[in-house]
Amino acid sequence: MTQPLFLVGPRGCGKTTVGQGLAASLGFQFTDTDRWLLEHSGETVAEIVEKEGWAGFRARESQALQAVAAPATVIATGGGMVLAEANRSFMRNQGQVIYLQVPAETLAQRLQASPEEDQRPTLTGKPMVEEIEDVLAEREALYQAAAHHVIDASLPVEQIVTRIQEVLRLARAS
C-alpha cells in the first residue's frame, strides 16, 4: 500500500511522534503540515495567525495539505485540518485517514508536561483543560467523519504504531 496515511486529531494526541514511528516502521517518508508551513513561509503558526487571522492560517494549512500529500508518506496534520470539508474529502479520497483519539484530560496532561515554545495561540482564551474539552466537543464528529480508522492514542507510542499497522493490514485483506 503506497497511499498516503493522514493522521488527524487534536493538538497533543501524538500525530508527530506516532507519525515518525509509523513512517519508520513502514519505510515511508514523514511530514508534518505545520512544520512544512514553517519551512515554506518562515513563520510559525502563531505568527501566521497574528498576521492573517485564523482564516488566513486555515487557507495556508489547506495548501500545505495538498502540497505534502504523496504516495508512501505519513502526514501529521494540524489539529484543525478537519474543519474544512474540502480537507476531509481530500484526505479520504487520497489515502487512509487515522484519527488518534485521546481523552481531554490526557491531552491536557501531555500539553502541560511539554509546552512548545511556538505553541498555537489559544482558540478560546479559556484555561487549557476547558479549551481542550470545548475543541474536542466541536471537532469530534469531524475527526470521526474524516477517519477510515479510529485508534486509541492514549497507549504508548509503540503500541499505537503496532495497532495502526494491524488495522491497515486488515483493511488491505478485506
List residues forming the annotated binding site for ATP.
12-17, 120
Residues flagged as binding site for Mg(2+):
16, 32
Give yes or no for a contact between 172 and 121, defined as CB atoms under 8 angstroms apart. no
Phi-psi region of 33 (alpha: psi -120 to 50; beta: other; left: phi over 0): alpha
Give yes or no for a contact between 56 and 12, defined as CB atoms under 8 angstroms apart. no
Give yes or no for a contact between 37 and 60, defined as CB atoms under 8 angstroms apart. yes
Q: Within 10 A of 42 (CB to CB), how many other CB atoms are there?
A: 8
Residues flagged as binding site:
12-17, 32, 34, 58, 79, 120, 139
163: helix, strand or coil: helix
Instruction: HSE, CB side, 13 Å, CA atoms: give it for residue 84.
Output: 19
